[in-house]
Copies of this chain bind each other. A is one copy, B any other.
């Protein structure tokens, strides 16, 4: 039952990385990223990677580590701000970026995992995003027609995801907005590796409340030393205790 569990992130990636592979990585900004697996990916030294994810880390954090180590050839993302090295290499032509609308990217990954080779979306019609893509009209419920763009499914050689808890079967539960792209990315990898904060025994997670069934997780590792860097700490002052007394 525990054959999916690896002792650490490096061993979870051992023997399956290769130059030129496509890697998907979960997270929105630095929220819900597989911190340990990203470090292991950097240490693997695999080069010419195509990296798919909503972002590519930000300065000194997350997938930036792999970028700074010159391992990335191409990126599919919806937003790549706050990342100076990526900016330089994109402007110089060293790295190719395919910008995808966030919802289109999420849906393309879901489609890839769900055996849907292509679908249509209104998103991006009439914009640069639609250039070179098939467009066509479909009827609305009221009979009027709207234009749509065909988008294709995405899969990866390796998917890296971060969850909150797993059982030893690889059933995953995410926490709050750290869920984001992780559930779809888990379905779209030929090999999916999950890192989690806690591994429990089967039966300890409510079967009614599994976010990612274990069928999608081939390898599982308990992460360590989570940084969980926050890009923008925004708070409000606490009302003075006993204020108006």
Chain A contacts to B: CB under 8 angstroms: 107, 111, 114-122, 138, 141, 146, 148, 152, 155, 173-176, 190, 206-209
Q: How far is the CB of A212 from chain B (nearest CB, A)?
A: 13
Contact of A115 among B121, B207, B208 (CB under 8 A): B121
Q: Is the interface of A mostly helix, strand, loop or mixed?
A: mixed
Chain copies in complex: 2
Between A and B, 18 residue pairs with Cβ closer than 8 Å are: A107-B114, A107-B116, A115-B121, A115-B122, A116-B119, A116-B120, A117-B138, A117-B146, A117-B148, A118-B120, A118-B138, A118-B148, A119-B119, A119-B120, A175-B208, A176-B207, A206-B209, A209-B209
Which B residues touch A115, using CB under 8 A?
Answer: 121-122
Tell me the bound Cα distance from A155 to B142 in angstroms: 12
Q: Are A141 and B155 in contact (CB under 8 A)?
A: yes
Q: How far is the CB of A178 from chain B (nearest CB, A)?
A: 10
Which B residues touch A118, using CB under 8 A?
Answer: 119-120, 138, 148
Tell me the bound Cα distance from A199 to B207 in angstroms: 21
Tell me the bound Cα distance from A122 to B190 in angstroms: 19
Interface pairs A-B: 7 shortest CB-CB: A117-B138, A119-B119, A209-B209, A118-B120, A116-B119, A117-B120, A117-B148
